[in-house]
Amino acid sequence: MERLSQERMPLYEALKQHDSKRIAHFDVPGHKGGRGNKELKHFLGETCLRLDVNSMKPLDNLCHPVSVIKEAQELAAEAFGADEAFFIVNGTTAAVQAMVMSTCKAGDKIIMPRNVHRSAINALVVCGALPIYINPGINKELGIPLGMSVKDVEEAINSNPEAKAILVNNPTYYGICSDLGQIVALAHEHNMLVLVDEAHGTHFYFGEDMPVSAMAAGADMAAVSMHKTGGSLTQSSILLCNKSMNADYVRQVINLTQTTSGSYLLMSSLDIARKNLSMNGKEMFRKTVEFAQYARDEINKLGGYYAFAEELADGDAVYAFDKTKLSIHTRAVGLAGIEVYDLLRDEYDIQIEFGDIGNILAIVSAGDRNLEIERLISALSEIKRLYEKDKTGLFDHEYINPDVVMAPQQAFYGEKHSVPIIESAGEICGEFVMCYPPGIPILAPGERITEDIVNYILYAKEKGCFMTGTQDMKIENINVVTKS
């Protein structure tokens, strides 16, 4: 079969051909190209509604791709340097869960940092695997979790030689990377697979002078959130596999949870974004780094704020830094990150990615403009001038080491009862508590609730963090495991 060029977009081309025909649709979706829902058509556009179609032979089937989706996935695998690529339309959450569930069964151990996204722990709740958590390093000045030290990984491997896999964040939300190459070498030496949550690392595959990507480091699987920094539509993602994995089995695992009605809008956006990255990625991410570096330099001149970057690298828990990330420490101006986040949105019409109790993150891309970068810098300067105060009393850390006393699945599905969070210290948590974004649990099922954690939750709520995870929508009560 003739090899396709990276300039091709098989799925996009098939959709365009389909759209050019005068097909009478007696299939779903019921809006019939927007004619059955004119408000939606006027809101999203006629083309969008016409291309929102269902699986059919000319357009292939995401659950069992044999033609244009298969070709689009093969081009994606080639572009990312992987042996296989799967289009994911349930978000990178589904890709992370597919990685864990493809490598672990009930009772199997998996080594992972505790500052993983909730999707990884959700996978443990579903499949019954047991986490061996590595506490990430902590930068005490910034209060943020870092990467995994190679020494800590080695100790976890030696203490749990029967573990099936190691999951690594590459990078963290803040832009911190572990020594992925060394971790892969260690894991493979001990017959363990390496799974990489690369939700924020699409650009590692296409930019120049970037931290190493999962596939280049020899990892076995990687979940890549194309919509975050790759330019595809929200909720679209790619799962990459190397030849160490049985791709047909991985596809079966994906199909356990992924929709059978894959969105062609999402899939075609992956196809188009892959082509764009292949053709223009170097220039796109060169521009992104220039924007981010300019913003860092100017923000650091303001005083108080600290836009951190590669100077944090220590060759271990901060092996490398993602220069596209504009991570800014705010506590020295007397404001929690979430307070700066809210002020930027409410007073200056600037929406950044997230704010936590000590930092903010602004996602920068080649789609930004100089004017918008200057608006952000100016707004931060004015916030400092108008709202700066004494930092006394501000929390100084984002991460609290967990005390895991029960498997997540056992705690989540076990008998539980509700207690006020303020009175929950000493209990075993039966659900999740987290700020979103970034979606890293403060508490996960099976962990002991401590006074430190209770105080953190109350503080985060007081500062205005958006809390999620508990059955109680007001985040006042928490389900804890009932003692037998």
Determine the Cα–Cα distance for residues 319 and 312; give it in Å rounded to an integer. Answer: 9
Return the sign of the alpha-carbon dihedral for residues 372, 374, 380, 386. Answer: negative
Cβ-based neighbours of 232, under 8 Å, separated by 6 or more? 226, 266, 269, 270, 272, 273
Name residue 144's beta-bridge partners. Answer: 139
Per-residue pLDDT tens digits for 419-429: 999 999 999 99
Whether the Cβ atoms of residue 171 and residue 211 lie closer than 8 Å to each other: yes
Give residue 438's pLDDT band: very low, low, confident or very high (50, 70, 90).
confident
pTM of the model: 0.94
Task: Report pLDDT for 4.
Answer: 85
pLDDT at position 410 over 90: yes
- The closest of 339, 99, 76 to 197, measured between CA atoms, is 99
Over residues 371-388, the mean pLDDT reads: 97
Task: Report pLDDT for 2.
Answer: 65
**What is the helix (H) or strand (E) element at residue 288, kind and residue range?**
helix 264-301
* Token pair belonging to 173: 């939300």
pLDDT at position 1 over 60: no
Give residue 12's pLDDT band: very low, low, confident or very high (50, 70, 90).
very high
Q: Give backbone dihedrals phi and psi of 132, rounded to 5 degrees, phi first.
A: -110, 100
Return the sign of the alpha-carbon dihedral for residues 306, 307, 311, 314. Answer: positive
Q: What three-state secondary structure class fits 9?
A: coil
Give residue 395's pLDDT band: very low, low, confident or very high (50, 70, 90).
confident
Task: Report pLDDT for 74.
Answer: 98
pLDDT at position 393 over 90: no
Over residues 398-414, the mean pLDDT reads: 90
98 exposed, middle or buried (CB, 10 Å; 0-12, 13-18, 19+)?
buried
Can you tell me which residue has the tokens 């080491």?
A: 401
Task: Report pLDDT for 399.
Answer: 75
- The closest of 197, 248, 240 to 88, measured between CA atoms, is 240
Q: Give backbone dihedrals phi and psi of 321, rounded to 5 degrees, phi first.
A: -130, 140
- The closest of 93, 81, 31, 85 to 62, measured between CA atoms, is 85
Per-residue pLDDT tens digits for 207-255: 999 999 999 999 999 999 999 999 999 999 999 999 999 999 999 999 9
> Which is it for strands 433-435 and 441-443: parallel, antiparallel or unpaired?
antiparallel
Per-residue pLDDT tens digits for 96-153: 999 999 999 999 999 999 889 999 999 999 999 999 999 888 888 898 889 999 999 9
Give residue 22's pLDDT band: very low, low, confident or very high (50, 70, 90).
confident
Over residues 201-208, the mean pLDDT reads: 97
CA distances from 135 to 82, 132, 147, 150, 180 (A): 30, 10, 9, 12, 16
pLDDT at position 394 over 90: no
Cβ-based neighbours of 356, under 8 Å, separated by 6 or more? 336, 337, 338, 398, 435, 438, 460, 465
Task: Report pLDDT for 119.
Answer: 93
Domains of the chain: 64-260 (3.40.640.10), 281-387 (3.90.1150.10), 408-481 (3.90.100.10)
The runs of H, that is alpha helices, within 302-400 are 337-348, 370-387
Name residue 315's beta-bridge partners. Answer: none
Give residue 391's pLDDT band: very low, low, confident or very high (50, 70, 90).
confident
**What is the helix (H) or strand (E) element at residue 131, kind and residue range?**
strand 130-134
| DSSP-derived secondary structure letter, 428 | B
